[in-house]
């Protein structure tokens, strides 16, 4: 399992460059860039980082096919990939930052599965230099880019079983969001593998908040609010499956979240067992043992969320020690 970094799309240009530089210096050789239609373009950031660090593996996670026409997605991906040594890994999804955002952008309400199924094949073909039928059918003519491209890996940001199965059948892998428990990942990855009938080796990338080599009290203060938000996200979308195996200390998740919504401090409400299940923190050897569990579940790349949470350590020495311990594990 490779260790990567996951950087947010709201970082300033200076912070993006500095954090990426620190990640590379710390031994990270892959970076995933968040894509948000209301923030900085991840493809532009990927091109910039590819020029600065030629050997860096870069991925976009993920472009919503509800907001981007496939030819535009392919155009941006091919343009960014031209600056990279390794093929750009392109993540596709159907999510939006919010329902209000979907309405504001007049995003289509068509079935997300149908949009993904149509978009994966079209984008993959266009980036490889092939032509595809226009959306208007034969009367619309064929579409094709006029700049050279290459076959780019297409991954899908998936959470629910239907999207996971579709990704296993059609895509080159899956990107799992923050808040994915080990038990959930093991089941989801097996579901994707069962749906894969072409024998290809898919990539399974998971995001995980990293709080650095900090003592327990600091981990609670910094990461308890983060874990509360992750639990709220899975509850809001009816994805109890995502927190499978997470020990909430015998608490009901709805009751716990209601108390926090009423003003209770997440530090007092979120048990350490839940923080350990949904975030990474502490000495390198503690983190290595936790990462082994993700590797055993089938994760092929763990993208650590660094610099995403106020109060956590920057990349620097903590990530360097962790990557070294991971490389040297028995």
What's the CA gap between 47 and 83, in Å, rounded? 6
Q: Phi first, then psi: give them for residue 61, nearest 5 degrees.
A: -140, 105
Domain residue spans in the chain? Answer: 2-215+279-327
- Mention the CATH class of domain 2-215+279-327: alpha beta
For 110: left if phi > 0, alpha if psi spans -120 to 50, otherwise beta; the answer is beta
Whether 151 contacts 102, CB under 8 Å:
no
Per-residue DSSP letter, 88: P
What's the CA gap between 33 and 76, in Å, rounded? 14
What's the CA gap between 19 and 315, in Å, rounded? 7
Contacts for 295 with CB less than 8 Å, ≥ 6 apart:
1
Confidence (pTM): 0.92
Per-residue DSSP letter, 175: E
What's the CA gap between 243 and 184, in Å, rounded? 7
Q: What is the pLDDT along the chain (330 residues), one digit of tens a residue?
A: 999 999 988 888 998 998 999 999 999 999 999 998 889 999 999 999 999 999 999 999 999 998 888 999 999 999 999 999 999 999 999 875 455 555 665 555 566 799 999 999 999 999 999 999 876 665 667 889 999 999 999 999 999 999 999 999 999 999 999 999 999 999 999 999 999 988 788 999 999 999 999 999 999 999 999 999 999 999 888 889 999 999 999 999 999 999 999 999 999 999 999 999 999 999 999 999 999 999 999 999 999 998 654 444 456 789 999 999 999 996
């Amino acid at each position: 399992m490779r260790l990567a970094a996951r950087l947010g799309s709201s970082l300033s240009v200076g912070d993006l460059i500095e954090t990426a530089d620190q990640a590379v210096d710390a031994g990270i050789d892959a970076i995933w860039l968040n894509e948000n239609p209301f923030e900085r373009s991840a493809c532009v950031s990927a091109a910039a980082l590819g020029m600065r660090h030629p050997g860096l593996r870069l991925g976009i996670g993920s472009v919503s096919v509800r907001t981007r026409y496939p030819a535009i997605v392919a155009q941006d991906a091919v343009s960014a990939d031209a600056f990279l040594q390794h093929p750009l890994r392109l993540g596709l999804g159907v999510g939006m930052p919010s329902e209000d955002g979907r309405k504001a952008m007049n995003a289509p309400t068509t079935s997300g599965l149908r949009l993904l199924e149509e978009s994966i094949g079209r984008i993959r073909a266009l980036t490889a230099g092939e032509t595809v039928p226009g959306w208007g059918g034969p009367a619309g003519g064929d579409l094709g880019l006029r700049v050279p491209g290459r076959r780019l890996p297409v991954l899908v940001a998936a959470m629910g079983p239907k999207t996971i199965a579709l990704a296993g059948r059609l895509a080159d892998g899956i990107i799992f969001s923050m808040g994915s428990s080990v038990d959930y990942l093991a089941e989801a990855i097996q579901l994707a593998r069962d749906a894969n009938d072409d024998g290809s080796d898919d990539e399974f990338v998971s995001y995980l908040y990293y709080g650095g080599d900090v003592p327990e009290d600091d981990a609670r203060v910094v990461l308890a609010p983060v874990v509360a938000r992750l639990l709220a996200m899975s509850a809001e979308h009816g994805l109890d499956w995502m927190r499978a195996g997470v020990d909430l200390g015998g608490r009901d998740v709805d009751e716990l979240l209601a108390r926090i919504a009423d003003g209770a401090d997440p530090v007092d409400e979120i048990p350490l067992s839940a923080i350990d299940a949904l975030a990474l923190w502490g000495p390198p050897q503690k983190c290595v043992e936790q990462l082994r569990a993700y590797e055993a579940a089938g994760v092929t790349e763990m993208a650590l969320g660094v610099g995403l949470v106020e109060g956590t350590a920057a990349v620097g020495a903590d990530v360097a020690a962790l990557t070294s311990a991971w490389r040297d594990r028995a």
